[in-house]
């Protein structure tokens, strides 16, 4: 197993997930369409790729389309076409069905050019027709698994463009219709993404558009899996580790996110390497956590928690989220009292502030920023809490210490 701190992993670099793979595989073999959700960097893309790889070895066709960059349904259809390009039987049929888009032989163009040609031929009025045709041509003698990764980001973008639910509805209704019409001949669909699709369609009043998808949540690794993965990496890179090092790594993280286990290992390995050592102690873990993990070099692991929030929330929601997270990071908890004070402070600026706070908390919990407990909401992921606390320590006035106009009017 090689160290990996960036892209998805599969094959020998893919560690464990035995239970989840078994469950997903049996769902897919039984022709269930799946909605795979889970926090960022939990390993969603990796598990889908690994499942696809295993099914390919068993005679399936696996198509993988990442639609994070799509701006409109035409892009989504073209991205799926690009994924299908290497499968000659399918791309040949697609090209025959969409003959008018191609002057040349599809075998002579790259997947990227294939995508561009199809994209150029599609319009707001025709993507549904050609998209349905594409799905139909995907049906093959072999069973087909079609992964559509980062679908929720794409849908959010569609929604943001004009602020109403119609385009999201059109897309989801179309997809559902195509899959249902094709029945057994439809490719098995796995859609995945870290932004919660369910809360999003719920808010838009469209929950039934995705209820044909079986919802599967990918959770963190338990402590033992984190420790075994860490030990496996240490073995592979010939680093000796003291008793308790792997557990200390898990405990510093607080949540077993595979990417962070790998990233922590990478930093510890650098730390030892710079000192010409090949042994790690528990103290090293604490030192590296403070210096490398929370320092400038560690930003890349954490900063996306902020940027992704901007994608997930509208302006007002984002402001509230920042307040809530700053409070939970610097005060250890976002308490019910703090919540009341926040709602009061923003009552005049935000219409239906209570509903808005409640929606924001749903997103923050769903995406793993906060966890509810008896005393309020807290960060389960320690580096995220420490990072947020570092960012706001000097700028956040605790909610209980703020005077609002409302307070001023009270005796």
Ligand X SMILES: Nc1ncnc2c1ncn2[C@@H]1O[C@H](COP(=O)(O)OP(=O)(O)O)[C@@H](O)[C@H]1O
Which range in 63-71, 121-129, 209-217, 254-262 contacts ligand X by CB under 6 A? 254-262
Which positions from 10 to 39 touch ligand X by CB under 6 A, shown as an x/- string?
A: ----xx-x--------------------x-
| Residue 206 region by backbone torsions, left for phi larger than 0, else alpha for psi between -120 and 50, else beta | alpha
For ligand X, which residue of 131, 196, 258, 317 counts as binding (CB under 6 A)?
A: 258
The token pair at 152 is 């929720």
CB of 185 to ligand X, least distance (A): 29
Residue from 24, 35, 37, 41 that binds ligand X (CB under 6 A)?
41
DSSP SS3 for 94: helix
Residue nearest to ligand X (CB): 43
Which of Mg ion, ligand X, none interacts with 9 (beta carbon under 5 to 8 A by kind)? Answer: ligand X
The CA-based dihedral angle spanning residues 126, 129, 134, 135, taken in that order and rounded to the nearest 10 degrees: 140
- By beta-carbon proximity to ligand X, the closer residue of 123 and 307 is 307
Nearer to ligand X by Cβ, of 193 and 376: the residue is 193
Q: What distance in Å separates the CA atoms of residue 150 and residue 155, rounded to the nearest whole number? A: 9
Residue 259 interacts with ligand X (CB under 6 A)? Answer: yes
Q: Which is nearer to Mg ion, 45 or 330 (CB)?
A: 45
Picked from Mg ion, ligand X, none, the partner binding residue 15 (CB below 5 to 8 A depending on kind) is ligand X
CB of 71 to ligand X, least distance (A): 21
Contact 371, 377 (CB under 8 A): yes
The site for ligand X, by CB under 6 A, has a size of 20
Cβ proximity to ligand X, 93 vs 259, nearer residue: 259
- DSSP letters for 259-299: HHHHHHHHHHHHHHHHTT--EE-HHHHHHHIIIIISSGGGH
Tokens of 55: 């099914």
Q: Is 73 in the site for ligand X (CB under 6 A)?
A: no
- Alpha-helix residue ranges (DSSP H) falling in 139-194: 151-162, 166-182
User: With binding defined as CB under 6 A, does residue 262 bind ligand X?
Assistant: yes
- Quote the CA–CA distance of 218 and 42 in Å, as a whole number: 7
Asked whether position 45 contacts Mg ion by CB under 5 A, the answer is yes
Q: Which does 191 bind (CB under 5 to 8 A by kind): ligand X, Mg ion, none?
A: none
Rounded-to-integer distance, Cα 221 and Cα 255, Å:
8
- Cα-based angle 90, 75, 159 (whole degrees, multiple of 5): 135
Residue 196 interacts with ligand X (CB under 6 A): yes or no = no
Q: Is 34 left (phi over 0), alpha (psi -120 to 50) or beta?
A: beta
Footprint of ligand X on this chain (CB under 6 A)?
4-9, 14-15, 17, 38, 40-46, 258-259, 262
Footprint of Mg ion on this chain (CB under 5 A)?
45
């Amino acid at each position: 197993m090689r160290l990996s701190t960036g892209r998805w992993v599969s094959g020998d670099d893919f560690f464990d997930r035995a239970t989840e793979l078994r469950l997903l595989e049996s769902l897919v073999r039984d022709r269930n369409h799946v909605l795979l959700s889970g926090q960022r960097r939990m390993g969603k893309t990796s598990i889908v790729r690994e499942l696809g790889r295993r099914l390919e070895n068993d005679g399936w066709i696996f198509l993988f389309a990442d639609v994070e960059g799509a701006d409109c349904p035409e892009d989504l259809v073209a991205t799926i076409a690009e994924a299908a390009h290497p499968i000659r039987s399918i791309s040949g049929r697609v090209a025959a069905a969409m003959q008018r888009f191609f002057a040349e032989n599809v075998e002579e163009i790259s997947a990227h050019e294939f995508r561009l040609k199809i994209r150029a031929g599609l319009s707001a009025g025709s993507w549904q027709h050609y998209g349905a045709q594409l799905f139909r041509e995907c049906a093959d003698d072999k069973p087909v698994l079609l992964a559509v990764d980062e679908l929720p980001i794409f849908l959010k973008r569609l929604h943001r463009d004009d602020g109403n639910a119609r385009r999201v509805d059109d897309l989801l209704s179309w997809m559902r219709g195509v899959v249902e019409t094709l029945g057994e001949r439809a490719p098995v669909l796995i859609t995945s993404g870290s932004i919660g699709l369910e809360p999003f369609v719920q808010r838009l009043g469209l929950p039934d558009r995705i209820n044909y998808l079986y919802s599967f949540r990918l959770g963190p690794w338990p402590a033992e899996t984190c420790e075994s993965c860490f030990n496996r990496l240490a073995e592979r890179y010939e680093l000796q580790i003291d008793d308790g090092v792997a557990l200390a790594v898990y405990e510093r993280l607080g949540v077993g996110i595979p990417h962070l286990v790998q990233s922590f290992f990478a930093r510890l390995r650098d730390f030892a390497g710079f000192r010409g050592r090949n042994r790690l102690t528990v103290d090293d873990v604490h030192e590296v956590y403070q210096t490398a993990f929370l320092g400038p070099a560690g930003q890349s692991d954490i900063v996306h928690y902020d940027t992704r929030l901007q994608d997930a929330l509208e302006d007002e929601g984002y402001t509230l989220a920042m307040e809530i997270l700053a409070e939970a990071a610097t005060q250890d908890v976002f308490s019910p009292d703090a919540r009341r004070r926040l709602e009061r402070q923003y009552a005049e600026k935000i219409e239906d502030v209570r509903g808005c706070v409640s929606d924001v908390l749903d997103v923050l919990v769903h995406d793993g920023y906060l966890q509810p407990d008896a005393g309020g909401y807290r960060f389960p992921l320690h580096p995220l809490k420490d990072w947020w606390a570092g960012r706001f320590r000097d700028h956040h006035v605790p909610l209980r210490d703020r005077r609002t106009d409302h307070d001023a009017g009270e005796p």
